[in-house]
Structure 1
């Protein structure tokens, strides 16, 4: 009986002392303001370990690593923040500063019209944002169609009908953009090089030829994987194989 009472007391005490993610986040912010970046990282990471994520959380983690001059994890978390909220201007600005700390200078291949359109429009918002727009548009379609159906004025009927068609067009387009955005996020696997220096090989083998060299903080695309090797692609089109331990997928 004493063991049961003690177990309940221990559980009750643990629950009472447990902090909410919001409290832990605030604690991390205070530690960051005081310049204790390592402890701030521990606070933020405890939230991440719970499976919670947000652009604010990843932004703060990126800032901590940036203050510690750790380029790879700083860029990694800024990129994760942008994956959630591509419109976060603070993240975009700080990411540009962090990229100045990298060594590799890689040219970018010219983009096709569709790639430019996708970057400028489709990827401007996240999949969730496009989905929300589609849901709102579907409600507007229903509302304006009902107004059209029950209206007696020919002028109002025409106005409601045209508005419902416009809402329907927005629904179809936003739904298409949401699907395309989801497909791109799912299929385009990107990663950050975490090794100080890594030699990309022509094949997934230590004895294969070196094709190029990379340094920490460089962003790459992951094409394939075999055993403990991953095939990567650079923005200039070059491909190679590196150890899976030398990079971290976003």
Structure 2
């Protein structure tokens, strides 16, 4: 328990960071969640944190606190999911990494099957929407500058280095955003959130079950059929998992 207290002790250091520049109602929900957590009302805290997420606001600190509440409730799978979601926003966040490793060690979870590699590892945490928005703004700024120059010198409206830089940078950012979105879509990962999820040979309750996955195990979803998800664990192990047992990262 002392180790758990040390692991979760940093909650108070980040309780205000997710609510900066957000509506007051969201800030109040986040403060209510932190208050519930401080009073040991972890189920209420989870509900309030999820309400913030449902309102369309997320941050690494919010997922960190949500993961802490799940740990207090001894819900390993949802805790791993929350920490992993936070790491998508801040891959090098030391609090998230430390708590995630602690939960994995405590539950004796395997490490295989969930790590990103190649281009996916390079673009983890990037926001395609933000990149695309910046690219569009650069294109608009370049176009506006060209229009202004058109009134004074039609021949050289598009020749200015600043204008060409803005337009070229905008196109490049838009292309990077689309590429990032594609790579992230291909590199899907999910967490088993139910205890003892059976890995079956076919998408049916009557199909043979070769193994059972622990809550918190990372898998790679590959296909879906009738609500069932075919997943891969490591290089060779694959099977079907029943609906409602996975949470995608």
**TM superposition score normalised by structure 2:** 0.70
1:141 alignment counterpart: 142
Unaligned runs of 5+ in 2: 1-23
> CA 1:99 to 1:110, structure 2 compared with 1: closer, same or farther past 3 Å?
closer
User: Paired residue for 1:53?
Assistant: 57
| Residues 119 and 161 of structure 1, relative CA distance in 2, 3 Å threshold | farther
- In structure 1, stretches of 5+ residues that fail to align are 1-18
Counterparts in 2 of 1:69 and 1:58: CA distance versus 1, 3 Å = same
Following superposition, the deviation at residue 206 of structure 1 comes to 4.1
Deviates more, 1:70-79 or 1:90-99: 90-99
Work out the CA distance in 1 between the residues paired with 2:68 and 2:27: 18
Query: Offset at 1:98?
Result: 3.1
Q: Is the 8 A contact 1:86 1:125 kept in 2?
A: no
1:162-241 alignment to 2 at 5 Å? 162-186=161-185, 188-241=187-240
Say if 1:65 and 1:73, in contact at 8 Å, map to a contact too: yes
SS of the residue 1:241 aligns to: strand
The corresponding residue for 2:9 is: none
Shift of 1:217: 0.3
> Considering only aligned residues, what root-mean-square deviation do their CA atoms show, in Å?
3.6
Structure 1 position 25 matched with structure 2 position 27: no
User: In the alignment, what sits opposite 2:118?
Assistant: 116
The Cα of 1:170 is off from its aligned counterpart by 2.5
What is the CA-CA distance between 1:26 and the residue it aligns to?
Answer: 0.9
The question of whether the paired residues in 2 share the 8 Å contact of 1:106 and 1:236 is answered with no
1:66 is matched with 71
CA distance 1:58–1:203, change in 2 (3 Å): same
Distance in structure 1 (CA, Å) of the matches to 2:41 and 2:145: 56
Calculate the TM-score normalised by the size of structure 1: 0.70
Measure the CA separation in 2 of the matches of 1:169 and 1:188: 29
Report matched runs for 1:85-100 at 5 Å. Answer: 85-87=89-91, 89=93, 90-100=95-105
Q: Are the aligned partners of 2:135 and 2:170 in contact in 1 as well (CA < 8 Å)?
A: yes
